[in-house]
Structure 1
Amino acid sequence: MLRRRTKGTSGGQSSQRSDVKSKSNQRSNCSVAIAPSIALALLLTARLTSAHFNIIHDCDEVFNYWEPLHYLIYGYGLQTWEYSAEFALRSWWYLLLHAAIGSPAAWLFGNEQGKIAIFYIIRAALAAASTLTEWWLYKAVSARYDASISNIFLFFIVVSSGMFAASAALLPSSYTMYALTAAAAAVIAGKHSYVIFSAVIGVIWGWCVAGIAFLPYALWILTTARLLPAIGTLLTALVATLVPLVVADKVFYGNWKASLYNFLVYNVSGGGQSALYGVESPSYYLRNGFNQLQFILPLSLILPLVGMLSWVAKGINTRSVSTTKKKAQRRSLDLNLCIAVSPLFLWLAAITALPHKEERFLFVVYPLACLAAAATLDAAAKVVAKVLPWRHVGRTIASLGIVAVVCVTALLSVSRTVALISHYGAPMSIYRALPALSGGGSTAGGDSRPTSTINVCVGAEWHRFPSSFFLPGPTYRIQFIKSGFDGLLPRAFDDTQGGTRAAPRQLNDQNKREPENYLESADTCDYAVTLRDGSNVWLDGGVLGSENDWEVIATKPFLDAGRSPPFTRAFYIPRLSPSKNKWLSYELLKKKKQEQK
């Protein structure tokens, strides 16, 4: 009895020592995953920082989303031809989702200076949505794979300048990015219904063209899920998303035109001419992607190659590994991870084939690029550790390599983010310098025009107008003046003509200039925003007239990209960028009173 107890005790101690040794080996081979609560705090901090400091990168965000949203909340704003009832390409349901946040906040903050608060509150809500989907993806990766993959992924997605730009943008491409990120997390976690709902929401409520990116997930569901439950989930998701979208279009456009269908016809079936708005070379997304993601993009794109090398390296490593240790180790790279990041490659190929290219098109797959890059870096480090003859030397070199790549990427990402804010942040600052009014308002020029409207005019810089949320009061209106731009400008929603149900004759789908959408002179302008070029001349001087008629009330430096060195204009280098770059002056002008002329 005593011997059996001793034997059992000895066996138990041996087993415990074996478990401890196994765990010790596991800790030596794998880093410790960052706690989910800390990951959430890091992500939320990064996204709220973006919501507060990020510039508006694309005039499409302003005129197709912020301006119609401003109209929903305050009753006035600008529209593009896509919102004409004749074409009905844009979904009002997408805007209503954001108005549900902005309208109650507007009641609280008012319609004067409080409008800018609404802008940032909506941005903060977008930042929160991005945070939650990224956090879900981090938790899914952390639960299934080596901690080094999840940690590198978290670091990349937190510091990425591309994510800084995309996460809080009011764009369907960003909305679809949230959905694709959530779907990727569900793929890794093996939750089919979540993948289906995320995909349908991203395609129907976000950007339907990006449905291409979800195709690998559809194939995964077809091959791994039970067919009938999957079809039932799909039908439920389609009904839940399509019904409110179609009803909203009926209410706002006045008929049963489905914006989703119209958008697909225009962009996919050949009915539209997106090339009217510019074409780019096939290398556009590689160049732009490197600017925004730095080494994250090339690392993500070589994942298939590094993955194959990793499998080969496993054969080279002939050292025996105990069954217990094999079970204890987490995965490095498997089919689920490959499926989760596969939309990156399909989507990049699809948008590269299109003649019209925009930076925002790439937003959709930014989080997946960060995940693929993390998997590449982890797999490459393991290959190095296995093929070198000295195991400990290999691990040290691999670890140092990871640290070096991560640190360089962080420096470039922060440098890029600071460059975008400091080089191109002038427009948002200039419009905030407009004076708030108390009372009904009067014209800045002091003349006798019987109107309370205050016109803020902009010409060549129309595309950098940050939206009517930056006009401090209901009496301010943005007006376009004649400039060198020969395309179609937006125009104001007109309630007297039917508002959202109107089909203004001044809007067309050919990007042809309409003279009724701008002023020929600056006679009725009270304020003006313009850019003083390298020759110290206003870009809109021909329309604004003599400088003696205007008082400069605010100026901000603005990068002259054409005359600045490529590297210092793309990335901020302390001391070097301010001195090497060339600068223009972004100016807010106030018309002088008649007696002062």
Structure 2
Amino acid sequence: MNREFFCYPVMFNDVKPEETSDTGLIYPGVDTAFKLLLSARFCSAIWSHITDCDETYNYWEPSHYLLYGSGQQTWEYSPQYALRSYMYLLIHMVPAKLYHYLLEPNPVLVFYFVRCLLSVGCALSEVYFYKNVCREFGIHIGRLTLVFLILSSGMYIASAAFLPSSFSMCVRYLSTVAIAAWYGRRYELAIFATAISALLGWPFAALLGLPIAMEMLIHKKEWSKFIKWVIISGTVILVPMIWVDSMYYGKLVIAPLNIIIYNVFTNHGPNIYGTEPFNYYIYNGFLNFNFVFIGALWAPFGLVLVWLIVPARPRDRLCLSYWYSLAPLYLWFLVFFLQPHKEERFLFPVYPMICLAGSIAIDTIQKLYFFIRTKLSSLHIAYHYLQYTVHITFFAILICSFLGISRSLAIYKGYYAPMEVMIDTNKLGLEREISKDININFCIGKEWHRFPSSFFFPSNNWKLQYLRSEFKGQLPQPFLVHENATSIVQPYFNDMNREEPTRYFSLDKCHFILDLDIDIETILEPNYSRLNDNFTIIRSSKFLNSARSHRFFRAFYIPFVSHKFCTYGSYNLLQNIKFKSIPLLLKEKNTKSS
């Protein structure tokens, strides 16, 4: 910790450098902030489970194919539709390939290696964001933002996710870099980062760059600079991207254009995958950011009240107005809150800005409290508002941090079981001699959406198979074993999420089954763990039964209390008994003979 002002000699905010020493503000420097952020992100990389099946099947599975020649293919990667970019995958898989080439590690180590790389990229972008928030809004708001970035469960979930929406959020998370560069008046970097985020990551992230473009074109009238950098950014990103994707798909492909056409210009768009009510993001936002999210929603009203009530010197003319600087967040809210199809990951790109807006909300509450308190007091209070309202800062950090950590622990304790069981599955290749001459059929039924990826298989001859379940949508199918598999149109793909019966596998041919036992079964989803004549449990881990757990205690973990109000099922790895006795397939190592 230090008192040295590390940002810029001229601060465009309420806390000027000369006031910093008077108010005694203590804040982390850039190096300390980076260490704190990196520690938090590594925790996410190691202990966060995969929360979205889209991450598994649209990113980890094709990445496994690029590295090992096997994996699951979704309809988005069929040359018939070509919605996804292989360039995006290769950016992550090139370092993974180098790691694999040099050390030949277990595939599960490659998985965590990539996650740790994502964590480093996220921490770098966040510390750049923190630095420029301090420059634009002041040290007080900057340090609050840093605390919320580190301890919020939303950032814990999103930071290590292998998703374009995460890529668009935070070097890899480019929207954060773009906004931070804008706050730092580095417009060239802001344009370039926005272009990478939108073209290589998620096309809809371009929405966050709209206020930046408006400021450059309308306020500053820098048309030539804007057009120049748009052309440079588009050329540098699109040319290699189109070349790589066209090579893999075997035809001319512009993936960002294809995904826009599908989502915007088709009759159904993404709504066939389910719709949610308007309050979905409010409920989800509170779980991930607790009162910080409520503050982010309230911040515009707080700023209006401060402007109307509290006498204050105007912000420096070189500074962006609050409405300009926060416009990307509320523009994103406006567009995505109104969309029928809602998913948690759609808000990933604005997670850092939620932390910023929540910090601004706390600052406005402190200013309003200080103003009202001075008006009610008979004595003139000759203090800076931050000194007199330090207790508000303390309780805001304490409550929001406690709820953030509590939520992250609840997620880990309740839902990490699939990762634990699959890590144990990976160890089977070390603990037992499993034949690599025949395919091992690893089956999943209702738990298909929690499968973490083929990186957890002990070897390449383990094949993922699907059992029929109550799910009636379209499941992936394996990439073809062919030199040009990515350019071959496989049959039985559709873009309407229609069920494809060709995906289903016969139960009696399964060597292993991954299944959840919560004492609920149907005809299509029998409790495989109770079929003792056919299967035996060889690995098991606790998994939260949310339907039978208290709503609050399943959402937030309270030590020594939560277990009394939560019910857990068993997440099991089952082995087919009839295959266990075949020595060619599976036999215990004879440790005595060695």
User: 1:221 & 1:229 partners in 2: Cα distance?
Assistant: 9
Partner residue in 2 for 1:7:
none
Aligned to 1:9: none
2:350 is aligned to: 365
User: How do residues 116-515 of structure 1 correspond to structure 2 at under 5 angstroms?
Assistant: 116-177=108-169, 178-222=173-217, 223-224=219-220, 226-315=222-311, 335-389=320-374, 390-391=380-381, 398-434=389-425, 435-437=427-429, 442=434, 452-496=438-482, 498-515=484-501
CA shift for structure 1 position 225? 5.3
How far off is 1:339 after superposition? 2.6
Deviation of residue 34 (structure 1)? 1.9
Q: Which position in structure 2 is the counterpart of 1:32?
A: 26
Tell me, yes or no, if the aligned pair for 1:457 and 1:481 is still in contact at 8 Å. yes
Counterpart residue type for residue 299 of structure 2: L
Q: Distance in 2 between matches of 1:377 and 1:98?
A: 38
The AA in structure 2 aligned to 1:32 is I
Residue type at the aligned position of 1:202:
S
CA separation in 2, counterparts of 1:395 and 1:594? 69
Q: Secondary structure at 1:70's aligned position in 2?
A: helix
d(CA) in 2 for partners of 1:226, 1:382? 36
Moved more, 412-421 or 434-443: 434-443
3-state SS in 2 of match to 1:158: helix
Q: Of the candidates 18, 36, 41, which is equivalent to residue 35 of structure 2?
A: 41
Give 3-state SS (helix, strand or coil) of 2:278's partner: coil
Contact residue 81 and residue 507 of structure 1 kept, 8 A: yes
Query: What is the CA–CA distance in structure 2 between the aligned matches of 1:153 and 1:536, rounded to whole Å?
Result: 46
Q: How big is the shift at 1:536?
A: 8.8
Change (3 A) 1:386 1:70: same
Alpha-carbon distance, 1:35 to partner:
1.2
Partner SS state of residue 34, structure 1: coil
| 1:213 shift after superposition | 2.3
Shift of 1:469: 0.6
| Alignment partners' CA distance in 1, 2:315 and 2:122 | 27
CA positional deviation for 1:474: 1.6
When residues 537 and 531 of structure 1 are mapped into structure 2, their CA distance, relative to the original with a 3 A threshold, is: farther
1:8-27 mapped onto 2 (5 Å cutoff): 26-27=20-21
Q: Is the 8 A contact 1:84 1:502 kept in 2?
A: yes
Contact 2:145 2:359 in 1 (8 A): yes
Residue 194 of structure 1 and its aligned partner are, at CA, apart by 1.0
Q: 1:144·1:330 contact (CA, 8 Å) conserved in 2?
A: no
With over 3 angstroms needed to count, the CA separation of the structure-2 counterparts of 1:55 and 1:591, relative to structure 1, is same
Bigger mean CA offset, 197-206 vs 368-377: 368-377
Richer in helix (by share): 1
Length, aligned pairs only:
556
**167-176 or 529-538: bigger deviation:** 529-538
Give how far 1:388 is off. 2.1
The CA distance in 1 between the partners of 2:150 and 2:356, in whole Å, is 12
Cα distance between partner residues in 1 of 2:326 and 2:82: 34
Contact 2:290 2:400 in 1 (8 A): yes
Q: Is the contact between residue 527 and residue 590 of structure 1 (CA under 8 Å) also seen in structure 2?
A: yes
Give SS of 1:587's match.
Answer: strand
Conserved? CA contact 1:436–1:473, under 8 Å: no
The question of whether the paired residues in 1 share the 8 Å contact of 2:553 and 2:565 is answered with: yes
- Structure 2 Cα separation of the partners of residues 595 and 498 of structure 1: 36
> Which stretches in structure 2 are left out of the alignment for 5+ residues?
1-15, 375-379, 583-594
Q: Is the 1:265–1:272 Cα contact (8 Å) retained in structure 2?
A: no
CA contact (8 A) 2:191 2:209 kept: no
Distance in structure 1 (CA, Å) of the matches to 2:580 and 2:47: 41
**Can you list the C-alpha shifts for 1:28-63, whole angstroms capped at 9, x where unaligned?**
336133211111111111111111111100000000
Shift of 1:478: 1.3
Q: Distance in 2 between matches of 1:512 and 1:398?
A: 58
Question: Taking structure 1 as reference, are residues 332 and 524 closer, same or farther at Cα in structure 2, changes over 3 Å only?
Answer: farther
Aligned partners of 1:145 and 1:330 also within 8 Å: no
**SS state at 1:268 partner:** helix
Q: Which amino acid aligns with 1:135?
A: V
Q: Does the residue aligned with 2:541 lie in a helix, a strand or coil?
A: strand
AA in 2 matched with 1:364: P
Alignment correspondent of 1:527 = 512
Amino acid paired to 2:31: S
| C-alpha contact (below 8 Å) 1:216/1:343 kept by paired residues | yes
Deviation, structure 1 residue 497:
8.8
Separation of aligned partners in 1, 2:193 and 2:22? 38
Q: Distance in 1 between matches of 2:100 and 2:368?
A: 56
Point out the structure with max Rg over C-alpha. Answer: 1
- Is structure 2 residue 539 aligned with structure 1 residue 554? yes
The 1:416–1:331 alpha-carbon spacing in structure 2 relative to 1, beyond 3 Å, is farther
CA change 1:558–1:382 in 2 (3 A) is same
Give the aligned residue type for 1:259: A
Q: What TM-score does the superposition give when structure 1 sets the normalisation length?
A: 0.88
Secondary structure of residue in 2 paired with 1:122: helix
CA distance in 2, matches of 1:23, 1:186: 22
How far apart, CA to CA, are the structure 1 residues paired with 2:133 and 2:529? 57
| AA matched with 1:406 | I
| 1:315-346, Cα deviation, whole Å (9 max, x unpaired) | 3x7xxxxxxxx8xx997995255433221111
SS in 2 for 1:302: helix
Aligned counterparts of 2:240 and 2:472: Cα–Cα separation in 1: 38
Q: What is aligned with 1:18?
A: none
State the SS of the aligned residue for 2:536: strand
| 1:52-63 equivalence runs, <5 A | 52-63=46-57
Structure 1 pair 366–439 and aligned structure 2 pair: CA distance change class (3 A): closer
Structure 1 CA distance, aligned partners of 2:407 and 2:273?
A: 26
SS of residue in 1 equivalent to 2:303 = helix
Task: Measure how far apart 1:410 and its partner are.
Answer: 0.3
Mapped contact 1:461–1:531 kept (Cα < 8 A): yes
Counterpart Cα distance in 1 of 2:346 and 2:145:
22
Residue 212 of structure 1 aligns with an amino acid whose one-letter code is L
Residues 79 and 28 (structure 1 numbering): CA distance in 2 closer, same or farther, change over 3 Å? same
Cα deviation for residue 230 of structure 1 reads 2.1
Cα distance in structure 1, aligned partners of 2:41 and 2:315: 30
Query: In the aligned structure 2, how far is the partner of 1:343 from the partner of 1:595?
Result: 58
Q: Distance in 1 between matches of 2:98 and 2:85?
A: 21
Letter in 2 for 1:555: S
RMSD of aligned alpha carbons: 2.7
Q: Secondary structure at the match of 2:262?
A: helix
State the TM-score, normalized to the length of structure 2.
0.88
Deviation string, structure 1 residues 177-221 (Cα, Å, up to 9, x no partner): 121111111111111111110110110011002222221111112
Distance 2:484 2:137 in 1: 56
Q: Deviations over 1:218-274 (max 9, x none)?
A: 111212252212211110000001011111111111000221111110011235431
